[in-house]
């Protein structure tokens, strides 16, 4: 029996993780759950799974949950509680599914505690990749990616990296793959959040629509698999059946295929090196639409281009684009800027921010803060 601490329990990854747990009650136990403000949904989860701990990042939400809970679950509050619960001696696996920079500290604490980290928070590597990977190695933690693309690469590389030429991450292209760029200015938040294949939160859905999500995955892959930027490729694949591929010098290509459902990658991270039932239907290629592949259009999807440029630039550039993107997406979702404003804000923030090398988590956090403030100022001028 493995004890799972699930960070981001009320999000899409959290819900999918619990569906896999439900299929294997003899293998997995929910030790701790966390959420930000949704205490009503957390109350339901606590009643069902009866974890030892429930962490609400928001203090008022924690108080409301504490007053309503009828189980023996201990309610904690604040970001510090997340750091403590992932390092708890009874935590075996940590599902790191908090969206954005807010999930970085707890994921790093899990690494320093030597836990199995099922990483669905790509910002931990985008913001602090060198620091994070060093902690994983130093403290003998297990790092298993949960993004469908990185899980696919991880699975394809199980035989090793001998003769590896490059990896290729697939991208669905989002809802605007075939939308003319002259229509981008009129895209609404609801349209951007209507992903054709995946069910995700609104922030990640917008990132998919701009292809910044793929750009962040390129940076994540650089750290996960120790690859140079030139060894990482992206191809647009609207059907989301081929999740990613690896290319070898002998001409071989290995790909991982499956129906577009995050439970496949989640169950693999939970059961590795074994495989268990995820609840996902078996892929039937004879009954699958024709598979299409396109080169990404960097003219339309500038965010993907900016991510590649930031990776090549190195240093704090990746932290800056992530911070600027989070601020820009927030303002887009709140109807403060238009869809085309997102890459403009990121580009201008990156151009304005002083380029430097960061060596500590404190420096990373400070750069993230400064970049956010700079993005807000840029938005004021843009508006």
- The answer to whether residue 272 sits within a structural domain is no
Q: 218 and 287: one domain?
A: yes
Q: Is 148 annotated as a binding residue?
A: yes
When pLDDT is cut at 50, 70 and 90, the band that residue 256 belongs to is very high
When pLDDT is cut at 50, 70 and 90, the band that residue 102 belongs to is confident
Say how far apart CA 169 and CA 226 lie, in whole Å. Answer: 15
Output the pLDDT for position 201.
Answer: 76
Mean pLDDT of the chain: 93
- The answer to whether residue 343 sits within a structural domain is yes
Final residue of a domain: which of 272, 301, 330? 301
- The answer to whether residue 227 sits within a structural domain is yes
Q: 24 and 129: one domain?
A: yes
Output the pLDDT for position 99.
Answer: 81
Final residue of a domain: which of 112, 145, 178? 145
CATH number at residue 372: 1.10.1740.10
Q: 214 and 344: one domain?
A: no
Q: 156 and 176: one domain?
A: yes
Comparing C-alpha atoms, which of 85, 103, 92, 83 is closest to residue 33?
85
- The answer to whether residue 278 sits within a structural domain is no
Q: Is 278 annotated as a binding residue?
A: no
Q: 362 and 218: one domain?
A: no
* Res 271 pLDDT > 90: yes
When pLDDT is cut at 50, 70 and 90, the band that residue 197 belongs to is low
Q: 19 and 99: one domain?
A: yes
Backbone torsion region of residue 226, taken as left when φ is above 0, otherwise alpha when ψ lies between -120 and 50, otherwise beta: left
This prediction's pTM: 0.90
When pLDDT is cut at 50, 70 and 90, the band that residue 289 belongs to is confident
Q: Is 326 annotated as a binding residue?
A: no
In tens, the pLDDT along 343-372 reads: 999 999 999 999 998 888 889 989 999 999
Q: 34 and 89: one domain?
A: yes
Range of the domain at 26: 2-145
- The answer to whether residue 109 sits within a structural domain is yes
Exposed, middle or buried, 160 (CB in 10 Å: 0-12/13-18/19+)?
A: exposed
Q: Is 245 annotated as a binding residue?
A: no
Q: Is 114 annotated as a binding residue?
A: no
Q: Is 213 annotated as a binding residue?
A: yes
Output the pLDDT for position 198.
Answer: 61
When pLDDT is cut at 50, 70 and 90, the band that residue 335 belongs to is very high
Output the pLDDT for position 383.
Answer: 62
Q: Is 52 annotated as a binding residue?
A: no
* Res 331 pLDDT > 90: yes
Q: 169 and 288: one domain?
A: yes
Check: CB of residue 125 under 8 Å from CB of residue 224: yes
Q: 179 and 54: one domain?
A: no
- The answer to whether residue 268 sits within a structural domain is no
Q: 90 and 50: one domain?
A: yes
DSSP string of 238-262? TT--EEEEEEETTS-EEEEE--S-T
Q: Is 208 annotated as a binding residue?
A: yes
Task: Report, as an integer, the average pLDDT of 80-94.
Answer: 97
* Res 199 pLDDT > 70: no
Q: Is 38 annotated as a binding residue?
A: yes
168-172, 197-201, 280-284, 291-295: range with lowest mean pLDDT:
197-201
Strand order in the sheet with 242-248: 232-236, 164-171, 242-248, 253-257
Q: 340 and 225: one domain?
A: no
- The answer to whether residue 364 sits within a structural domain is yes
Q: Is 330 annotated as a binding residue?
A: no
Check: CB of residue 269 under 8 Å from CB of residue 151: yes
Q: 50 and 182: one domain?
A: no
Continuous H helices in the chain: 12-23, 39-49, 59-68, 79-86, 104-112, 123-138, 148-156, 189-192, 202-210, 212-224, 263-271, 302-313, 317-333, 341-352, 361-382
State how many domains the chain has.
3
- The answer to whether residue 265 sits within a structural domain is no
* Res 76 pLDDT > 90: yes
Q: Is 167 annotated as a binding residue?
A: no
Q: Is 315 annotated as a binding residue?
A: no
CATH number at residue 87: 3.40.50.720
* Res 316 pLDDT > 70: yes
């Amino acid at each position: 029996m493995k004890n799972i601490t699930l960070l981001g329990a009320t999000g899409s990854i959290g819900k999918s993780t619990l569906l896999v747990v439900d299929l294997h009650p003899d293998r997995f136990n929910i030790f701790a759950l966390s959420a930000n403000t949704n205490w009503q949904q957390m109350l339901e989860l606590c009643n069902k799974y009866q974890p030892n701990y429930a962490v609400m990042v928001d203090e008022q939400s924690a108080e409301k949950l504490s007053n309503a809970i009828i189980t023996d679950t201990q309610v904690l509050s604040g970001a510090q509680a997340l750091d403590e619960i992932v390092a708890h001696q009874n935590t075996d696996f940590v599902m790191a599914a908090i969206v954005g920079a807010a999930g970085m500290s707890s994921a790093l604490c899990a690494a320093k505690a030597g836990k199995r980290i099922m990483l669905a928070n790509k910002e931990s590597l985008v913001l602090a990749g060198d620091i994070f990977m060093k902690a994983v190695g130093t403290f003998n933690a297990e790092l298993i990616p949960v993004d469908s693309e990185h899980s696919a690469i991880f699975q394809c590389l199980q035989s090793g990296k001998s003769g590896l030429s490059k990896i290729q991450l697939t991208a669905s292209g989002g809802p605007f793959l075939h939308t003319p760029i002259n229509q981008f200015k009129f895209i609404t938040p609801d349209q951007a959040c209507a992903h054709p294949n995946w069910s995700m939160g609104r922030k990640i859905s917008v990132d998919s629509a701009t292809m910044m999500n793929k750009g962040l995955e390129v940076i994540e892959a650089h750290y996960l698999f120790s690859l140079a930027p030139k060894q990482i490729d992206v191809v647009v694949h609207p059907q989301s059946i081929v999740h990613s591929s690896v290319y070898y010098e002998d001409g071989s290509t290995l790909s991982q295929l499956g129906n577009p459902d995050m439970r496949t990658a989640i169950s693999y991270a939970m059961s590795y090196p074994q495989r268990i039932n995820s609840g996902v239907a078996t892929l039937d290629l004879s009954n699958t639409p024709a598979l299409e592949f396109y080169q990404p259009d960097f003219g339309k999807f500038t965010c993907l281009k900016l991510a590649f440029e930031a990776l090549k630039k190195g240093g704090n550039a990746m932290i800056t684009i992530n911070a600027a993107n989070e601020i820009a997406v927030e303002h887009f979702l709140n109807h403060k800027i238009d869809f085309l404003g997102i890459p403009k804000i990121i580009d201008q923030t990156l151009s304005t921010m002083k380029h430097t090398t960061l060596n500590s988590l404190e420096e990373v956090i400070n750069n993230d803060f400064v970049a956010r403030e700079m993005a807000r100022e840029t938005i004021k001028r843009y508006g």
